[in-house]
Structure 1
Amino acid sequence: MRVVQAGSLAALAVSMILGIASCTENIDTPPIVSATGYRNGRPVPLEQKQILALSRWIDAHRTGWKALMETPPLPSVGVEVNYADGRDGSFEVWLNPRGGDGVVYHYIYDHAPGAKVVAPVKQHLSAQDVRAFRAIANEEAPATR
């Protein structure tokens, strides 16, 4: 009887994990007050027009996010953001070495005592989305073939 229960529990756990991994969610970020991109490994504050472009980029990508269930690869380009509500976070893009597409990872950090942890999420990006993000983040995109 215990073997059946253990097997049933394992099957239940696997189905729950797969169910969570396949769910998508929307992100709702507070207004961005400042942001930093990187050029040649050095931090470069984004100008107001870049912050506005980043906000528009986020608006265009609010839906279709999935829970981050794995350790992501090192990002190719990223932007650190500070939100109007005191939280900070980042958007980090990993580029697919076999194509121009990639994946963006979003993290939010709330440093207030007793704050609820916000789980990181990810979303697939087209090559066009990656180019747009790189332009916003002060990262020069490589020449296209």
Structure 2
Amino acid sequence: MISAPTRFRLRRENVGPVVVVRFHGFLGAAGATALRSLVEDVLQHESAPVVVDLAGTTDLDCHAVSALEALHRHALRRGRYLRVAAVPPRLRGLLDPFDLHSALGGTGSVAHECRAAGEAGGAGGAGGAPPAEGERVCA
């Protein structure tokens, strides 16, 4: 039997008007559960748009796909803004069969998705004011 690594880091930070959740490591069962729990908590208790940064993801499996689909449905039910950013190119092909890119993004940078969140106003893509001149929107 082959066991997959379970080491991962998950960090939440406010970057301008956006909550960025950064994931590093293997996005398998344990990581997907932790990611889903944290993002659902943000979506339920805060009004800020959410961008999930997957730039540090080393690999992913079906648990990741399931978690991302569930988070997308959760955000839609709440009328909330949720995007995925910076999926490493070598992992994008694993998400292609599920068409998550059209719903959640993934190919744009974190900065791009944060700017888009600011322009969308954070609520399910509804209009909103872009960031003020010189305001730091995303690192």
For the superposition of Structure 1 and Structure 2, which TM-score range results when normalised by the shorter chain? under 0.3
Structure (1/2) with the larger helix percentage: 2
Per the normalisation by structure 2, the TM-score is 0.25
Larger of the two Rg values belongs to structure: 1
Structure (1/2) with the larger strand percentage: 1
